[in-house]
């Protein structure tokens, strides 16, 4: 009986404490106390280090990969952080015209795409370029054969040569199969699909080493794919 009375007392005390906390929060809100910044606007990120020794790639020079990481990828990270700060200010200003706000949202989309695709790209480099039997079999289920998949992926890459974009192998959870996708830029993605292999086809990814010879860069890319990472990505999302 005594324990039941004690339990009832503790429950009443907790209820009073929660009501008091809520009242304090309401009072602070009414006094104009600023709320914590929303992560969707003000989250600041840092560039991820290269997950491999930049001297270890086959056919892609250390000079090129370091420049790519420092200038293109890290530049996108800095730009995204700056845009998030602008969005925080613009969202708090009721007088921000919608067309100006949407300009910031467009830049947010593009910079986010650049950051994310670059991280996939660097993350699937640094390997031997040899896909294991299990992954080759999984790819063949969707494409008929591994060679058919590779031929199409290379064709997409060569079609993007001299311009911009990404070639992406992704898992489509709706169709439950792997597909190759052509992406025109950082804001162009495959609906609801998750990338497992990403190849950067912007000229900055190969021009320093190969000039306009994009096909040679594609050969070098395939020689340096970290297929263990690709297989792990697929296993994590396709179960």
Half-sphere exposure of residue 151: CA atoms within 13 angstroms, side-chain side:
7
Token representation of residue 117: 């695709």
What's the predicted TM-score (pTM) here?
0.83
Q: Is residue 14 part of a domain?
A: no
Q: Is residue 37 part of a domain?
A: no
Q: Is residue 13 part of a domain?
A: no
- Asked whether residue 106 carries a pLDDT value surpassing 90, the answer given is yes
Q: Print the domain residue range for 214.
A: 58-239
If pLDDT is split at 50, 70 and 90, which confidence band does 42 have?
confident
CATH value at residue 222:
3.55.40.20
Q: Is residue 112 part of a domain?
A: yes
Question: Structurally, how many domains does the chain consist of?
Answer: 1
If pLDDT is split at 50, 70 and 90, which confidence band does 30 have?
very low
Of 38-47, 49-58, 214-223, which gets the smallest average pLDDT?
Answer: 38-47
Q: Is residue 19 part of a domain?
A: no
Cβ contacts of residue 220 below 8 Å, gap of 6+?
Answer: 57, 58, 59, 60, 206, 209, 210
């Amino acid at each position: 009986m005594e324990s039941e009375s004690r339990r009832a007392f503790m429950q009443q005390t907790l209820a009073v404490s929660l009501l008091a906390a809520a009242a304090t929060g309401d009072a602070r809100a009414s006094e104009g106390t600023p709320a914590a910044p929303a992560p969707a606007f003000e989250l600041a990120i840092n560039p991820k280090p290269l997950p491999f020794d930049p001297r270890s790639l086959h056919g892609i020079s250390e000079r090129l990969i370091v420049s790519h990481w420092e200038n293109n990828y890290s530049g996108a990270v800095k730009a995204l952080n700056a845009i998030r700060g602008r969005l925080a200010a613009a969202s708090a200003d009721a007088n921000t015209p919608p067309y100006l706000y949407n300009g910031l949202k467009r830049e947010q989309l593009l910079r986010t795409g650049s950051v994310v695709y670059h991280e996939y790209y660097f993350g699937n480099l640094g390997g031997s370029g040899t896909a294991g039997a299990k992954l080759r079999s999984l790819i063949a289920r969707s494409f008929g054969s591994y060679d058919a998949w590779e031929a199409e992926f290379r064709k997409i890459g060569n079609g993007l040569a001299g311009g911009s974009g990404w070639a992406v192998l992704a898992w489509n959870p709706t169709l439950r199969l792997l597909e190759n996708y052509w992406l025109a830029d950082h804001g162009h993605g495959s609906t609801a699909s998750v990338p497992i292999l990403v190849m950067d086809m912007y000229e900055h990814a190969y021009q320093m080493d190969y000039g306009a010879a994009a096909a040679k860069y594609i050969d070098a890319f395939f020689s340096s794919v970290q297929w263990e990472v690709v297989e792990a990505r697929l296993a994590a999302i396709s179960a």
